[in-house]
């Protein structure tokens, strides 16, 4: 079968959750089908990265879009009904290339990765369209609107929430099958009036690549993995460093926190906290997992299943998270991880993990077992396989 995989990003390297999900689902589809990857390009570096995916896909192609074009699209769309997150990527070149690819490669199914690629997948014949929401953008923006924002950002969020609620429900009815990464996000879409064709294909993790350390380190070494240019990560870590970290250091002055991932933009790098260091983007995460006693995910804004926590699970690192992160994962507090609702509670949970060897060992074993059973990429990819088989059968 010929599959046209439409992505707003080049799904490589795997520096964030969006690229991880796209890459692993793409790679799995390519094992049994001819996959034609068509995505937007925003830099020469992305063009180079796209070429590396020739090892996975039958065909890879990119359509350039500039920052100026994105801004112009948003300004034009502001008075209208379309979400800016979709309108920003309007492109005649992409639309023309999609139409050409459908004819040139005899495309059987068009797979839109993320909402902004939905308009392009609708160029395909009915009965052959798949939309991967990944998570509900309306739910994400609703969460962002609950925290304190400048007036102009609140105005933007209010507009985007209204448009996304309408669009996410409407677009589900235009696709034959839709995918989402968590039950909570699917429920949010159903409450908006979405069609009943949404399947949960969870985010995953490579449990074979991440090998747990035989025994946790005894020192209070904490770890956070995530792109610090992503607003929820940045806001969550800043709150942690300012409100939670001082409480932990008061009890354990020798505690250290390592942050692995894309560093904040230069204008946002005023991070001066005792015992906190940035490792930046690293070639391998495993050495950092092996040096950690515990991992954290202190996000107050979160949708879908957080890749960073699934990696903690697979690597055998006990974790402390906020309630919204635990809710999206649908795990049990005190069994798979610890949950901290307030700065004081979060700090105390971290301290517990650092001081109680039995608790830390019990949690990491349970979390590792859960990752192998439910979140290894073979599980969600296998579910997607069955979904595609049903789709093919209905088309034939």
CA-closest candidate to residue 380, choices 243, 224, 205: 205
Q: CATH topology for 2-204+377-395?
A: Rossmann fold (3.40.50)
CA distance linking residue 282 with residue 91, whole number of Å: 34
How many C-beta atoms surround the C-beta of residue 141 within 10 A? Answer: 24
CA distance linking residue 331 with residue 315, whole number of Å: 17
Q: With a cut of 70, list the residues of the chain below it in pLDDT.
A: 266-270, 395-396
User: Model pTM?
Assistant: 0.88
pLDDT value for 93: 97
57 token code pair: 């896909």
Q: List all residues 6 or more positions away from 321 whose beta carbon is below 8 Å from its beta carbon.
A: 296, 297, 298, 299, 306, 309, 329, 337, 338, 339, 340
Residue entry with tokens 């099958």: 177
pLDDT value for 180: 96
Phi, psi angles (nearest 5°) of residue 36? -110, 110
pLDDT value for 330: 76
Residues of the chain with CATH 3.40.50.2000: 2-204+377-395, 221-375
CA distance linking residue 312 with residue 235, whole number of Å: 20
pLDDT value for 225: 94
User: Which CATH number is 221-375 given?
Assistant: 3.40.50.2000
Look at phi and psi of residue 290 and say left if phi exceeds 0, alpha if psi is from -120 to 50, else beta: alpha
pLDDT tens-digit map of 176-226: 999 999 999 999 999 999 999 999 999 999 999 888 999 999 999 999 999
pLDDT value for 266: 67
pLDDT value for 173: 96
């Amino acid at each position: 079968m010929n599959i046209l995989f439409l992505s707003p990003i080049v799904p490589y390297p795997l520096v964030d959750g969006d690229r991880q999900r796209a890459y692993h689902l793409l790679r799995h589809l390519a094992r049994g089908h001819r996959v034609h990857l068509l995505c937007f390009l925003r830099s020469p570096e992305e063009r180079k990265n796209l070429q590396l995916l020739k090892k996975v896909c039958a065909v890879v192609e990119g359509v350039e879009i500039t920052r100026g074009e994105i801004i112009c699209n948003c300004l034009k769309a502001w008075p209208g009904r379309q979400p800016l997150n979709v309108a920003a990527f309007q492109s005649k070149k992409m639309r023309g290339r999609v139409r050409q690819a459908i004819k040139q490669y005899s495309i059987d199914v068009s797979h839109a990765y993320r909402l902004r690629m939905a308009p392009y997948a609708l160029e395909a014949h009915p009965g052959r369209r798949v939309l991967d929401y990944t998570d509900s953008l309306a739910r994400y923006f609703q969460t962002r609107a609950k925290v304190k924002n400048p007036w102009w950002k609140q105005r933007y969020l209010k507009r985007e929430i209204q448009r996304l609620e309408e669009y996410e429900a409407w677009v589900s009815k235009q696709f034959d099958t839709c995918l989402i990464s968590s039950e909570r996000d699917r429920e949010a879409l159903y409450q908006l009036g979405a069609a009943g064709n949404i399947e949960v294909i969870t985010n995953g993790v490579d449990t074979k690549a991440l090998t747990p350390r035989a025994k946790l380190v005894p020192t209070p070494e904490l770890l956070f993995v995530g792109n610090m240019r992503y607003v929820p990560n940045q806001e969550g870590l800043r709150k942690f460093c300012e409100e939670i970290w001082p409480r932990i250091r008061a009890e354990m002055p020798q505690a250290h926190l390592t942050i692995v991932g894309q560093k904040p933009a230069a204008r946002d790098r005023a991070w001066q906290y005792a015992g906190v260091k940035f490792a930046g983007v690293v070639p391998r995460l495993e050495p950092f997992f092996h040096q950690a006693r515990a991992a954290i995910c202190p996000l107050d804004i979160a949708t879908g299943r957080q890749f960073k926590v699934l990696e903690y699970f697979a690597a055998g690192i006990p974790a402390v998270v906020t309630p919204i992160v635990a809710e999206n994962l649908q795990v049990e507090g005190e069994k798979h991880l610890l949950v901290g609702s307030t700065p004081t509670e979060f700090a105390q949970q971290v301290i517990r993990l650092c001081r109680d060897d039995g608790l830390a060992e019990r949690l990491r074993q349970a979390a590792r077992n859960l990752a192998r059973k439910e979140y290894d990429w073979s599980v969600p990819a296998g579910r997607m396989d069955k979904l595609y088989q049903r789709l093919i059968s209905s088309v034939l």
